Amino acid sequence: MKPAPFSYYRATSVEDAIAALSGADGMAAVLAGGQSLVPMLNLRLSPVDHLIDLRPIAALSRQEETPEAICYGALTTHAAFEDGAVPDGTNGLMRYAASHIAYRAVRNRGTLGGALALADPAADWLTTAVALDASVTLTGPDGQRYLAITDFVVGPYYTQIAEHEIIDSVVVPRRSATERWGYYKVAPKVGEYAKSLAVALVDSEKASARLVIGAWSDVPLVLEASAIALLDGAKKNDLTMVVQNELDLKMPSLSPAERRLHTATAVRAAEQTRS
Amino acid sequence: MKQSVSLTVNGRPVETTVEPRLSLADFLRLELRLTATHLGCEHGVCGACTVLIDGEPARSCIALTVSLSDAQITTLEGLADDPAMQVIKQAFHDKHGLQCGFCTSGMLISTRDLLKRTPNPSENTVRNGLSGNLCRCTGYQGIVRAVLKAAEDLAAS
């Protein structure tokens, strides 16, 4: 359980980190909170020759507010969300999601940007970010680019981050004050990665709804038909049928047990929006 | 290649050179001989190695020493005179909060932080709050009772 040797570089700025990434020969990786990467180094699952530490870069811990959105620096920790130490535009959804990630000792160091960069399909932030229509700002040698989260993540553990790019920040649009959310996670042990995860958002005044299923074998799945049924006030049994049908259509590879699990998770998240 | 790092451990400034791959847990145990910090799983799951980094609980097995420049590290040894920790230790003693004792250092540090953030926790809060610390003796009943007693005693003191 000891990592193989690697070199370590303390980056002083985003530009410095990108220069270090570009100049590295061999496999280079950036270190944010290290709560997934360092375990993988310990287990020697992640071959890294050069580790570039982003934590000293103060700019990556910033938060910026605009009337439409809040921009969170990539190094904003889960604990900062949990404690309400950073602004929230989601009626508390991000705070709730953050406080259910792993354990406090992990939340103190784990970061939003790091979690999205890993793109573990079972992790809380990825599904939450898809539900919230977040976008990701990437900085590389050629400047910055902005990707909607659904364009950013292309598969399990697979994102559009190019070789010499890092996540600078995550932009989360402000939700309307009349919106209600539901968040349901199935994890047999508290703090473990989810077996199933669903986020529901309903704003009947604005006639908008969103239902997203995460923690299956691919990127989070947006259930449009089910969201419309939810907005239309479908009763629980009817909603269950709609979700099941949509899952059959969009996740045909599910086993019967997984199908029931994800259906129940989605319906429970949806039900929370009207309780 | 070793790299230099300076940090503070239990109030004592430490300047040293370390291999980048050296975990904080191994640094504390092998180089500083602070052996209250235990290593169980060595990949951030079991919580036995929990210490305070800048006052906040963290897994020392997945913290790289080289990255902790200027950080303040506090281990269980550094909390020997901490009034809250003395109350918590006594409660663990009174309520059989340990059997083999391997997980205890991490349990104590997590408990101190939990009770600092939630001074009057329900049993459910305690179980959730300590879910990141595993006890392979499965002595959770005693641990939960100890934490609840510690909360009462701290409120009374």
Q: For B58-87, what is the mean pLDDT? A: 98
Q: What confidence score (pLDDT) does residue B93 get?
A: 98
Give chain A's largest Cα–Cα span.
59
State whether B62 and A31 contact (CB < 8 Å).
Answer: no
CB A226, CB A239: distance < 8 Å: yes
Check pLDDT > 80 for residue A269. yes
Interval B76-117: pLDDT, tens: 999 999 999 999 999 999 999 999 999 999 999 999 999 999
| pLDDT exceeds cutoff 90 at B10 | yes
Q: What is the pLDDT of residue B49?
A: 98
Domains of chain A: which residue ranges?
A: 7-53, 62-173, 181-272
Answer with the residue of higher pLDDT: A190 or B113: B113
Nearest to B89 by CA among B75, B113, B73, B105: B105
How far, in Å, CA of B19 to CA of B8, rounded? Answer: 18
Whole-number pLDDT of residue A1: 77
Of the candidates A160, A149, A144, which has an alpha carbon nearest to the alpha carbon of residue A127? A149
Q: Is A99 in the B-facing interface, judged by CB distances under 8 Å?
A: no
**Chain B nearest-CA residue for A52:** B67
Summarised one tens digit per residue, pLDDT across range A217-256 is: 899 999 999 999 999 999 999 999 999 999 999 999 999 9
What is the spatial distance between Cα A3 and Cα A44, in angstroms, rounded to a whole number? 6
Secondary-structure percent of chain A, ordered helix, strand, coil, rounded to 5: 35, 25, 40
Contacts of A157 (CB under 8 A, 6+ apart): A118, A119, A120, A121
Q: What is the mean pLDDT of residues A84-90?
A: 98
Flag whether residue A177 sits within 8 Å of chain B, measured between CB atoms.
no
Instruction: Give the chain B residue nearest A55 (alpha carbons).
Output: B67
- Same CATH topology for A7-53 and A62-173: the answer is no
Q: Which of A39, A51, A109 sits opposite B58 (nearest CB)?
A: A109
Q: Is the pLDDT of residue A82 over 80?
A: yes
Class of domain A7-53: alpha beta
Q: Encoding tokens for residue B69?
A: 């420049």
- Phi, psi angle pair for A34, to nearest 5°: 75, 15
Identify the CATH class of A181-272.
alpha beta
Average pLDDT across chain A, whole number: 97
Q: Do B62 and A42 touch (CB under 8 A)?
A: yes
Candidate from B20, B57, B133 with C-beta closest to A108: B57
Reference A134, options A225, A203, A199; nearest CA is: A199
Contact A109 B23 (CB under 8 A): no
At B143 the pLDDT is 98
Which residues on chain B are in Cβ contact (under 8 Å) with A118? none
Q: Check A105 against B127: CB less than 8 A apart.
A: no
- Tell me the CATH number of domain A62-173, given options 3.30.360.10, 3.20.20.140, 3.30.465.10, 3.40.430.10: 3.30.465.10
Any idea what DSSP says for residue B110? Answer: H
- Out of A4, A7, A190, name the one closest to residue B131 (CB): A190
Nearest to B4 by CA among B65, B72, B71: B65
CB-CB neighbors (< 8 A) of A3 in chain B: 21
What domains can you pick out in chain B, each with its CATH number? 3-78 (3.10.20.30), 81-156 (1.10.150.120)
3-state secondary structure of A208: strand
Q: Across chain B, what does the average pLDDT equal?
A: 97
**A275 vs A190, residue with greater confidence:** A190
Residues A62-76 pLDDT 10s: 999 999 999 999 999
- pLDDT category at A215 given cuts 50, 70, 90 is very high
Q: Give the span between the Cα atoms of A97 and A108, in whole angstroms.
A: 14
* CA-based torsion, A248, A251, A252, A253: positive or negative: negative
* Rounded-to-integer distance, Cα B133 and Cα B117, Å: 17
- Give the rounded percent of residues in chain B with a pLDDT score beyond 90: 99
Q: What average pLDDT does range A261-273 have in this prediction?
A: 98
The alpha carbon of residue A18 is apart from the nearest alpha carbon of chain B, in Å, by: 18
Span A130-143, pLDDT tens digits:
999 999 999 999 99
The 3-state DSSP class for residue A53 equals strand
Angle between helices A256-272 and A236-250 (to 10 degrees): 130
